[in-house]
Amino acid sequence: MLITSHRSWLFPTLLITVLLSVGSGQGSYAKPHTHPSPLENIALSREDQSQILFSTGIQKALNGDYVHAIQDYDQALQLAPSNSEVYYNRGVAYFSINRPQSALRDFSQAIALQPNMAEAYGNRGLIRQTLGDRKGAIADYQQAKQLFQKSGNQPAAEQMEHWIDQQGTPQ
């Protein structure tokens, strides 16, 4: 979702649930009860590990723990540096702790990796507006509006139009 000036759209665009089936073979219930990590003895790819960290980061962000969410997103990006959704969500977390420059960089990186991510354009526009870059904000809002219209998300396209109208014509 998009960030608004009232910060009511702080939820991530994707919630990814990673379900792992551990011990589904015969005899798994006869093992002594210890408290091993649910990921112990499971060979996971870097991408899978990144998705797990991304998912835990989302949960932390949804609980308002943005600092620790950012730490999980950082680790996820070390494992899979081309995941635009992680950059997007880390951008939301940075914005939530009043680090607009970091959020701006992450939204820009999300756009570089996924040029049709309308939410990233809308949020980057809002940050540019907050930082006094009116022309950049309008350009991002216009791009977001086009992408939202193309995807059939008319309410979000109308929100972008409203924000464009609030900015007036660039000089």
If you ran DSSP here, which 8-state letter would residue 90 be given?
A: H
Fill in the amino acid letter for 13.
T
The pLDDT tens digits for 114-171 are 999 999 999 999 999 999 999 999 999 999 999 999 999 999 999 999 999 998 755 5
Among residues 110, 131, 121, which one has the least CA distance to residue 153? 121
Model pLDDT, residue 22? 23
Report helix, strand or coil for 15: coil
CA distance 78 to 131: 29
Model pLDDT, residue 21? 22
Tokens at residue 114, please?
A: 């996924």
CA distance 6 to 2: 11
Residues 6+ positions from 118 with CB-CB distance below 8 Å: 143, 144, 147, 148, 151, 153, 156
Examine the pLDDT at 9 and tell me if it is beyond 50.
Answer: no
Model pLDDT, residue 5? 36
Are 1 and 11 in contact by the 8 Å Cβ rule? The answer is yes
CA distance 58 to 15: 7
CA distance 102 to 94: 6
The pLDDT tens digits for 77-127 are 999 999 999 999 999 999 999 999 999 999 999 999 999 999 999 999 999
Q: What φ, ψ does residue 47 adopt, rounded to 5°?
A: -65, -40
Q: Which domains does the chain have, with CATH numbers?
A: 43-98 (1.25.40.10), 116-171 (1.25.40)
The pLDDT tens digits for 22-36 are 222 333 223 333 444
The pLDDT tens digits for 27-62 are 322 333 344 444 555 678 889 999 999 999 999 999
Side-chain-side CA neighbours of residue 106 (13 Å)? 24
